[in-house]
A = this chain, B = another copy of it.
């Protein structure tokens, strides 16, 4: 819970009263490795603030898993599109390690936000961070080659490399597993 408080205060001013109003919307929850937080076809009604562990979002296309995002401690994982619009989710979110999260329930969150503008503001900042992250990784593909994308992750998100296997990362970077292997090889020879 402490982690969440720090996260909130890093984003916006937040009074004890607002916190008391927010409280009913929050639940701590744990997931085993490979357990689903959100399943394709379901409507996403939660924000998952990650306390410990990490999870990923992935599509299944023609039976193949395509990773689209990784989410670590002190980040929020969700399907922002489904959460916002009420449409069914097109992808899954799954725990990659034993996972502890604080769940924001959408309906209760909205009720609380109507009573405290600070909560509404918090929500806006959470979505803003989410949008910023999406933009960052989206631009990776438009600006850089596969090798440069790997280098970007290595320099800007080294923690991701330490926790995510090369195979998992490959799909996130939009290339074959073997390609990342060869990029490493090419570099070490030069």
Q: Mark A118-146, 1 if CB is under 8 A from B, else 0.
A: 00110111011111101111110111000
Q: Which chain B residues border A130 with CB–CB below 8 Å?
A: 131
Q: Which chain B residues border A68 with CB–CB below 8 Å?
A: 138-139, 142-143
Given contacts A120-B120, A134-B135, contact A84 B142 (CB under 8 A): no
Given contacts A120-B121, A124-B123, A127-B127, contact A80 B141 (CB under 8 A): no
Contact A80 B131 (CB under 8 A): yes
Interface size on A, residues (CB 8 A): 34
**Main SS of chain A's interface residues?**
helix
Q: Which chain B residues border A139 with CB–CB below 8 Å?
A: 59, 68
Cβ-closest chain B residue relative to A120 = B120
Partner of A172, one of B80, B142, B171: B142
A98 close to chain B: CB less than 8 A: no
Partner of A131, one of B117, B127, B143: B127
Q: Which chain B residues border A120 with CB–CB below 8 Å?
A: 117, 120-121, 124
